[in-house]
Amino acid sequence: MLKNVTTVVLDGVHPFELGVVCEVFGLDRSDDGLPVHDFAVVSAEGSRLRTHAGFTLEVEQGLDRLADADLIVVPAGGNYVGRPYPEPLLTALRDAVVRGARVLSVCTGAFVLGAAGLLDGRRCTTHWRHADELARRHPLARVEPDVLYVDAGPVVTSAGTAAGIDACLHLVRQAYGHEVANTIARRMVVPPHRDGGQAQYIDRPLPRTRCDTVGDVLDWMERHLDREITVEQLAVRAHMSPRTFARRFQQETGTTPYRWLLRQRVLLAQELLEATDDTVDAIASRSGFGNAAALRHHFLRTLGTTPNAYRRTFRGPVRVA
């Protein structure tokens, strides 16, 4: 059971991520018949801390509070990437996992867990902008940049900002069941569960690297995404054999023609879902997938969500006829 919940803050903490934890675990909602936690915010670096937003916090309790916690949460901080962390905090986190407690990081809080050695050999995540750096600093960790959160036994890591809500509600759901988690979500006016992962939020069109020999072919492919395209056709346009073209394409773009084409088609489908009233079938045809079933398959595989769910999330004012 989840009774004692403690949040650890360092200098530079993000107020929103800290507030998420306080909102889920720190409020008394007994009037709705919801569980009440023994909740505390503790400091790892003195009683007065600056926040990333420019104001300060006065935190009365210290790290000794961690010894009894069932769950220890490390929210994000603006200067958490690559900075030194207090050794007593890292020791307390390791000890907590050994005695059976759980730890949760929100966004860049994962770097603190990594410094404590708690990500080694485990699946984990962080904000997509910092995923490569987390993997570089902790090569034994299995970083998954496309998910909202990862539950790896005693260690739970979540992606950026609002993904902390998803991870917190996940832990509530595990401890108390769906009804309690759904009631808290309604009180917070948030969905109890979001479709997909953070891949759908990543702004990452394929980089246009310098292409000495296949650049013109790339331009042609982008203009004809709705066509059936083969490597043989592309090789003819590049005046090469298919084998030579495939090798040169890999050298100059870092990927295969098929993967490059697939990602561009998904990007086009995203744009059309956001900006048009076209049906999913029509979008599938315009983006080169042929039919809605193929589009759903590749969309789900690439972004972790369906075209309809993506459209509901990101739909803006119609801009394209």
Q: State the pLDDT at residue 161.
A: 82
Q: State the pLDDT at residue 202.
A: 53
Q: State the pLDDT at residue 199.
A: 57
Q: State the pLDDT at residue 210.
A: 57
- Active-site residue, selected from the candidate residues 107, 124, 168, 211: 107
39: part of which helix (H) or strand (E)?
Answer: strand 38-43
Is 107 part of the annotated catalytic residue set?
Answer: yes
Q: State the pLDDT at residue 207.
A: 47
Q: State the pLDDT at residue 197.
A: 58
Q: State the pLDDT at residue 160.
A: 86
Residue the block writes with tokens 């890591």: 157
The domains found in the chain, sorted by start residue, are: 4-201 (3.40.50.880), 215-314 (1.10.10.60)
Q: State the pLDDT at residue 198.
A: 64
Strand residues in 51-112 grouped as ranges (E): 56-58, 71-74, 102-106
Q: pLDDT, tens digit, for every residue of 56-74?
A: 999 999 999 999 999 999 9
Q: At what angle do helices 307-314 and 257-275 cross, to 10 degrees?
A: 50
Q: State the pLDDT at residue 204.
A: 47
Q: State the pLDDT at residue 289.
A: 93
Q: What is the mean pLDDT of each run of 10 residues along the chain (321 residues)?
A: 94 96 95 94 94 94 96 94 94 97 97 97 94 95 90 93 90 88 88 63 50 82 90 92 90 85 88 88 93 92 86 62 41
Q: pLDDT, tens digit, for every residue of 152-181?
A: 999 999 998 889 999 999 899 889 988 888
First CA to last CA distance, the chain: 54
CA distance 106 to 75: 5
pTM: 0.67
> Quick one: tokens of 30?
């007994």
Q: State the pLDDT at residue 182.
A: 83
Q: At what angle do helices 242-253 and 257-275 cross, to 10 degrees?
A: 60
CA distance 59 to 62: 8
Q: State the pLDDT at residue 195.
A: 58
